[in-house]
Amino acid sequence: MNGITKAFPGVVANDSIDFDVRYGEVHTLLGENGAGKSTLVKILFGLYQSDEGSIRLRNDPMEITAPAEAISARIGMIHQHFMLVPTLTVAENVALGTASTRRPFTDLDLVSERVADISRQHGLAVDPSVEVRRLAVGERQRVEIVKALYRDVELLVLDEPTAVLTPGEVDDLFVILRRMADSGHGLIFISHKLREVMSLSDRITVLRNGRVVQTITPAETSTEELAQMMVGRSVNLAPDKPKREPGGVRLEVQGLTVQGDREEISVRQVDLLVRSGEILGVAGVSGNGQRELAEAIAGLRSVEAGGVVRLDGIDVTDRDVRARRDQGLGYISEERMKDGAIAEFTVGENLLLVEHGSKKFTRRGMLAFGAINKHCEKLVEDFGVKTPSVETPTSSLSGGNIQKVILARELSAKPKVLLACQPTRGVDIGATEYIHNLLIEQRDLGTATLLISEDLDEVLGLADRIAVMYEGRIVGIVPVEEARRNQIGLMMAGVPEQEARNSP
């Protein structure tokens, strides 16, 4: 790809980017959110058209205007959000869009056979007759890879494929990817996880603000140097965290059992204690009950009989969200655009949401805009939210800045207990660093923080103790000083604490 330029209203997503992949290598595109990685591969895959620049495949100039053309050029793409139809079977998903040998009828038996062959050949265990919605995330990803192999791709793009996997599954995936590269496939791997990038890549191209910073091999660089290239300044990857003695118990969860969205039990008999001045990290792969646990503590999901939630010693199990907030709970929800902030509201309105009814901001039942604006402008400044004004619609801010708005709102209420779910998901490194420091600062001010994160590095870096969650249970709780990455990884896959501890 040569001199690729693509502009969207207001931003140049790709600015004359040169990028090449060789067959038989893994070439990583590394960069922050908004650096232009996804745009570049979407152009390659025909989902976007570039404004300028050219694409050549095996030295032949190519014009790719639709995914169908990319597919016939044997380019495949595994999207960050899986491109699967949940109500169809694995075989149907694989067959979709391919020519059937029995047109106009489907030939699913034949497809199933080939899927079985591919699974065997590449070590990808999948059952072709199962509906995709019944599969776990790791399995779904295998289906995506099978889909690509079924189409005989020579060039495969993987857009953040590890975001949803356990450390063990990531290792398995990397074995598969390495094998594919060795057998002559060209792989484009997109990630912002430096550790993974270093271990898998043959070459790394770092993007920042739509431009190529450098193309380099892992042997020539280090994670610190890569982070610096991504952000454009030096970054402290491991936050400084002085040891601190925790105080009294602020959040207590006892025998908590919670139902999930489909009425299945998703949290089983969970006991947790979080003390003042301590961060308890909950590690686990997505979908093991973390979201339901958080919602139950926040009062957004009802709990089964017998479970107890105490905030600062007071039983709030049967109290509503407002009562829990009044009792000192702050909540940073997992999906900030779904239940953390209202996208269409302005920054100011979102900053105000929780307190909009309080005496401070109303006069005789009417909103007092003078006091409100002053309050919001102060928060925007204190928390370094980058926004043109408090009147700006929240949806036009970057992920990191929206998260800062939410943090500003929650922390300005001076919570005794802070429930922080995936606080830096989809947030750039700069803002992540800021949010991490903020959470540690809160800890030092005596807040009891329950940090729920799927990013194991984040949990290891911030938490004082780590609780590992698997299939709704707490597998074990390990003090961070004793925690080893690989042991936590095993526990995330359900291996009991003792056994994981004794593993090499």
Partner 1 sequence: MSDFFTLSVLVATAASGIRLATPYLLASLGETVGQRSGVLNLGVDGVMLLSAFFSYWVVLKTGNLWLAVLVGVAVGLVMGLLYGFITVVLNATQGISGIGIYIFGLGLSDLLFRRQVGTPKPVRRLPDVDIPVLSDIPHLGPALFQRNLLTYLAFLLIPTTMFLLGRTTFGLNIRSVGENPSAADSLGVSVRRTRFAAILIANSMAGLAGAALVLQLGIFQPNLTQGMGFIAVALVYFGAWRPIGVMCGALLYGLVNATVLQWKALGIIPVNGSDLAAMAPAVLTILALVVLARRVSAPAALTRPFSRH
Binding positions for partner 1, rule: CB under 8 A: 45, 47-48, 66-68, 71-72, 77, 79, 81-88, 92-93, 95-98, 100, 103-106, 147
Q: Looking at beta carbons only, is 147 or 443 nearer to partner 1?
A: 147
Q: Looking at beta carbons only, is 34 or 299 nearer to partner 1?
A: 34
Q: Looking at beta carbons only, is 72 or 503 nearer to partner 1?
A: 72
Q: Looking at beta carbons only, is 72 or 389 nearer to partner 1?
A: 72
Least Å distance between CB 157 and partner 1? Answer: 11
Q: Looking at beta carbons only, is 103 or 243 nearer to partner 1?
A: 103
CA 208 to chain centre: 20
Q: Looking at beta carbons only, is 85 or 314 nearer to partner 1?
A: 85
Residue with tokens 């090449």: 20
Least Å distance between CB 42 and partner 1? Answer: 9
Q: Looking at beta carbons only, is 89 or 453 nearer to partner 1?
A: 89
427 touches 453 (CB < 8 A): no
CB-neighbour burial class of residue 388 (10 A; exposed 0-12, middle 13-18, buried 19+): exposed
* CA gap 29, 472 in Å, rounded: 35
Looking at residue 113, its amino acid is: E
Least Å distance between CB 303 and partner 1? Answer: 24
Number of Cβ within 10 Å of residue 404's Cβ equals 26
**3 state SS of 274:** strand
Least Å distance between CB 125 and partner 1? Answer: 22
The three-point CA angle 45-177-2 to 5° equals: 35
Continuous segment of H or E residues that includes residue 482: none
* CA gap 98, 394 in Å, rounded: 42
Q: Looking at beta carbons only, is 120 or 133 nearer to partner 1?
A: 133
CB-neighbour burial class of residue 416 (10 A; exposed 0-12, middle 13-18, buried 19+): middle
Least Å distance between CB 238 and partner 1? Answer: 37
CA distance readout (Å), 486 to 168, 451, 493: 9, 20, 11
Least Å distance between CB 71 and partner 1? Answer: 5
34 touches 40 (CB < 8 A): no
Least Å distance between CB 461 and partner 1? Answer: 34
DSSP 11-49: EEEEEEE-----TT-EEEEE--TTSSHHHHHHHHTTSS-
Q: Looking at beta carbons only, is 88 or 273 nearer to partner 1?
A: 88
Strands 249-259 and 265-275: antiparallel
Least Å distance between CB 109 and partner 1? Answer: 12
Least Å distance between CB 97 and partner 1? Answer: 3
Instruction: Check whether the bond before 104 is cis (ω within 30° of 0).
Output: yes
